[in-house]
Amino acid sequence: MVSGLKIRAWSRRSDLRRGRGCSIVGQAYRRLRRRRALWRRGLKSSQCRRSALTSTRHGDKAEAMSDVPADVLTRVLGRADRAPSVHGTKPWWWQSTATGVELYVRPERQLSVTDPSGRDLTISCGAALYSLEVAAAVEGWRARIRRVPDPGLRSLLARVGFEPHEVTAGDRDRAELLLVRRIDRRTGPSSPLPESSVNEAALLARERGVLAVAAGPRGRGEEVLGLLAEAARVQELDPGYRGELEHRRQLRRPIDPGDTDATWLVLATASDDRLCWLRTGEALQAVWLWATAHGLSLVPHSQAIEVPSARATLQDELLQDTSCPQLLLRLGWAPVDDPRPTRTSRSDPP
Ligand SMILES: Cc1cc2nc3c(=O)[nH]c(=O)nc-3n(C[C@H](O)[C@H](O)[C@H](O)COP(=O)(O)O)c2cc1C
């Protein structure tokens, strides 16, 4: 059973009790029409089976059913749930609907001192959203995403519909990377990444509407390390932070002042709201999968954003106040000799 997946099973009887259902004949007719439409689109009979996951009714009108079979949706959400999250909190859950799935945030998993605005929380959900898109593509479904659709319902972050899609080799590779990707906080061989790699990463972020600004190693790496060390010191001095992060210290990469050859990327957006945070999470996961494919280690460093003074310095000095910093990423060569660390993700907060 996929964690966080809430299934609202379709119940003809309860619909009838509530006076919502139409006649049984009407339902059968609609079912037949839907099957015919699927056959016309060349889908297999197994794909025509009505899915208990996707047959929720809304209001009085029967909405278009999502065509994704239940077992496929379960696989897709299972892969999406392997997305990275701040301190491994996995602060999201999925709701199946008549037309697809909805992504919701779990506010109870917010680290209220470290992340009072919910930025890290929403970025994590964005990473899950991108993972869903990748996981659906390899199953033959293109995700159609509407982000942050309802300002009145703050825990709803996105509505996703699906349409049939032809699977490519690229889809298969990316889906495999979802399973392989994990945080690796060790330092690898020290030599800067070529500029072409940095540009590739930046392009992936830009496709999600997010800027990736390089901050080193040439020239600014030491500044970034200084900023991170200062942010860590500020957090250590605050009893609120200390209390919240006490059991999570091992989930933060310690700052190594000698780590001057790493490449630093600041993910930044035009404004500073939930939509931008969600998109930053999508960009993060897109760049992380790309890094994994290229044998690179990627470590997010959120301390520089969590501490207001460090964030202001990043915004004013590195970004010249042209955009809002959302996350700092360290990119470097992954160590090749030692075994990789085991996955630290968890479904429940520590
Ligand atoms: C928004 C966000 C912020 C993060 N901040 C940090 C960080 O400051 N330091 C760090 O070492 N890891 C950071 N991480 C990585 C998580 O700790 C890591 O993804 C999590 O422990 C789950 O492990 P996994 O990526 O192997 O699944 C961050 C991840 C996200 C999504």
Q: Which tokens hold the place of 284?
A: 């993060």
Q: Is the CB of 178 under 6 A from ligand 1?
A: no
Query: Ligand 1 centroid to 343 CA: how many Å?
Result: 11
Among 31, 161, 33, CA closest to 96: 161
5-178 and 186-333 agree in CATH topology:
yes
Mutate to test the pocket of ligand 1, among 241, 302, 340, 342 (most ligand atoms within 8 A of CB): 302
Which string of DSSP letters, residue by residue, matches 157-198?
EEEEEEEE----HHHHHHHHHHHH-----S-----PPPHHHH
Query: Ligand 1 centroid to 16 CA: how many Å?
Result: 47
Separation of alpha carbons 321 and 315, rounded Å: 5
C-alpha distance across the termini of the chain, in Å: 21
Mutate to test the pocket of ligand 1, among 3, 79, 87, 287 (most ligand atoms within 8 A of CB): 87
43-79 pLDDT, tens digit each: 333 333 333 333 333 223 333 447 899 999 999 999 9
Which whole-number Å values give the CA distances from 348 to 67, 81, 163, 260, 342, in the listed order? 31, 12, 32, 35, 17
Q: Is the CB of 14 under 6 A from ligand 1?
A: no
Which whole-number Å values give the CA distances from 234 to 239, 300, 313, 329, in the listed order? 10, 18, 14, 20
Reported as type and span, the H/E element at residue 285 is helix 274-293
| φ and ψ at residue 289, rounded to 5 degrees | -65, -40
Q: Is the CB of 157 under 6 A from ligand 1?
A: no
Q: Is the CB of 125 under 6 A from ligand 1?
A: no
Each residue's pLDDT expressed in tens, for the chain with a length of 350 residues: 344 444 332 233 333 233 333 333 344 444 445 544 443 343 333 333 333 333 333 223 333 447 899 999 999 999 999 999 999 999 999 999 999 999 999 999 999 999 999 999 999 999 999 999 999 999 999 999 999 988 888 899 999 999 999 999 999 999 999 999 999 888 777 778 899 999 999 999 999 999 999 986 556 778 899 999 999 999 989 999 888 877 776 667 777 877 888 899 999 999 999 999 999 999 999 999 999 999 999 999 999 999 999 999 999 988 999 999 999 999 998 877 656 666 554 444 33
Instruction: Classify 186-333 by CATH class.
Output: alpha beta
Query: Ligand 1 centroid to 33 CA: how many Å?
Result: 47
Domain extents in the chain: 5-178, 186-333
What is the pairing mode between strands 5-6 and 141-147?
A: unpaired
- Specify the 3-state DSSP secondary structure of 266: strand
| φ and ψ at residue 317, rounded to 5 degrees | -90, -45
| φ and ψ at residue 214, rounded to 5 degrees | -75, 140
Atom of ligand 1 nearest to the CA of 252: 11
Task: Yes or no: say if 130 and 282 are a contact pair by the CB < 8 Å rule.
Answer: yes
Which residue type is seen at 3? S
Query: Ligand 1 centroid to 184 CA: how many Å?
Result: 10
In the block, residue with structure tokens 């999250």 = 85
264-310 pLDDT, tens digit each: 999 999 999 999 999 999 999 999 999 999 999 999 999 999 999 99
Q: Is the CB of 185 under 6 A from ligand 1?
A: yes
Q: What is the pLDDT of residue 23?
A: 39
Q: Is the CB of 120 under 6 A from ligand 1?
A: yes
Query: Ligand 1 centroid to 138 CA: how many Å?
Result: 25
Separation of alpha carbons 143 and 208, rounded Å: 14
Which residue type is seen at 237? L
Q: Is the CB of 330 under 6 A from ligand 1?
A: no
Separation of alpha carbons 282 and 293, rounded Å: 17
What is the pairing mode between strands 92-96 and 5-6?
A: parallel
Q: Is the CB of 294 under 6 A from ligand 1?
A: no
What count of residues does the chain have? 350
Q: Which tokens hold the place of 202?
A: 């930046």
To the question of domain 5-178 being in CATH 1.10.3470, the answer is no
Q: Is the CB of 91 under 6 A from ligand 1?
A: no
**Alpha carbon 291 to chain centroid distance?**
16
